């Protein structure tokens, strides 16, 4: 039996591998699946070269009894086909567990970025695989990407309503939860809705920046079309800007505000507060 991590050279996958080794899992029992053996060489574990776009490369990636952490792909609009290759390979190998990193809300998530995740979860269920679904809320680092810029400008601008809350957690928390789910028992057939212990508003985020800055920082909500124009004007590809604005709408509708405590239970500790992530991002 091996623990196999797909997408192992990504930011999440790398952290999961490190967490497994820190937890005492022998390096010989961990396999990293990556597109490039060179990029995975520093992980300190076995490497299998596998590319989501080349299903044949997953031959031999998994074996009967393996526990697999299936880190979702990053290419929006292509992921269902890419994910199907992994699901088919896991089914053929008769793995003992397939842990999939999806999105908060699962089948009830009604924003465009969730479409691929809903379809992937359904394909895993249809395949009859022994599953664990990790439905991650927004990463804190993604929700507040330009902390230094917001601090310098004294303004946080997006299309999220002023009173809307979001229960984020940093990547390191989601990675630790994934490591726990794939190497400890008791998680089969469970869908975890994972997010921070405390849901915060962008006004509260601005207030924390103001505390650091020593002068006011304001949160300004602009119409969706205006915000989309702002971010595309700053260089964001239009298709990504459309997804971003759609997520802002989901936040405004309260779709990412749930604080169920399931992440903290997997971690065995409280989740990391947004203030700590802000401090880390500011160095």
Quick check: helix, strand or coil at residue 81? helix
pLDDT score of 283: 85
- What is the residue-wise DSSP string for 213-248? HTS--EEEE--HHHHHHHHHHTT--HHHHHHHHHHH
Quick check: helix, strand or coil at residue 99? strand
What Å distances lie between residue 186 and 119, 153, 271, CA to CA?
A: 25, 48, 21
Opening angle at CA 271, ends 265 and 274, nearest 5: 160
Pairwise CA distance, residues 99 & 5, whole Å? 10
pLDDT score of 132: 98
- 227: domain CATH number is 3.90.25.10
Opening angle at CA 14, ends 48 and 104, nearest 5: 110
Residue 74 placed within a domain: yes
Burial per residue of 108-134, b for 16 or more beta-carbon CB atoms within 10 angstroms, e otherwise: ebebbebbbbbebbebbeeeebbbbbb
Pairwise CA distance, residues 193 & 103, whole Å? 8
pLDDT score of 81: 85
Structure tokens at 77: 């609009």
pLDDT score of 16: 98
Tell whether 146 and 252 lie within a shared domain: yes
- Which helix (H) or strand (E) is 46 found in, with range? strand 46-49
Q: How many structural domains comprise the chain? A: 2
pLDDT score of 230: 92
- Ranges of residues in the chain with a pLDDT under 50 are none
pLDDT score of 58: 92
pLDDT tens figures, 84-122: 999 999 999 999 999 999 999 999 999 998 999 999 999
Tell whether 11 and 132 lie within a shared domain: yes
Residue 210 placed within a domain: yes
Q: Domain of 239?
A: 138-169+196-258+272-283
Domain boundary among 121, 136, 151: 136
Cα atoms in the 13 Å half-sphere on the side-chain side of 102: 31
The model carries a pTM of: 0.96
Mean pLDDT of the chain: 95
Tell whether 226 and 130 lie within a shared domain: no
Look at residues 128, 126, 106 and name the one whose alpha carbon lies nearest to residue 115. Answer: 106
Q: What share of the chain is helix, strand, coil (3-state, %, to 5)?
A: 45, 15, 35
Tell whether 202 and 236 lie within a shared domain: yes
């Amino acid at each position: 039996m091996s623990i196999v991590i797909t997408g192992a050279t990504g930011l999440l996958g790398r952290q999961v591998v490190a967490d497994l080794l820190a937890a005492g899992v022998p390096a010989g029992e961990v396999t990293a699946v990556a597109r490039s053996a060179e990029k995975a060489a520093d992980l300190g574990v076995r490497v299998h070269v596998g590319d989501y776009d080349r299903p044949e490369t997953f031959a031999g990636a998994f074996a009967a009894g393996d526990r697999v952490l299936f880190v979702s792909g990053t290419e929006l609009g292509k992921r269902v086909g890419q994910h199907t290759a992994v699901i088919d390979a896991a089914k053929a190998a008769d793995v003992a567990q397939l842990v999939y990193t999806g999105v908060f809300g699962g089948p009830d998530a009604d924003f465009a970025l969730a479409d691929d995740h809903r379809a992937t979860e359904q394909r895993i269920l249809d395949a009859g695989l022994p599953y664990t679904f990790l439905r991650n809320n927004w990463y804190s680092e993604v929700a507040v990407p330009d902390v230094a810029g917001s601090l310098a400008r004294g303004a946080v601008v997006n299309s999220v309503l002023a009173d809307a809350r979001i229960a984020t957690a940093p990547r390191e928390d989601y990675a630790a939860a994934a490591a726990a789910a794939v190497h400890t028992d008791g998680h089969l057939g469970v869908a975890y809705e994972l997010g921070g212990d405390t849901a915060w508003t962008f006004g509260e985020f601005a207030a924390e920046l103001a505390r650091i800055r020593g002068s006011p920082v304001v949160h300004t909500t602009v119409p969706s079309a205006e915000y989309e124009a702002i971010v595309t004007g700053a260089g964001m590809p239009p298709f990504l800007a459309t997804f971003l604005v759609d997520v802002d709408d989901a936040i405004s509708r309260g779709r990412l505000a749930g604080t169920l405590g399931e992440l903290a239970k997997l971690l065995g500790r409280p989740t990391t507060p947004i203030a700590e992530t802000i401090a880390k991002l500011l160095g």
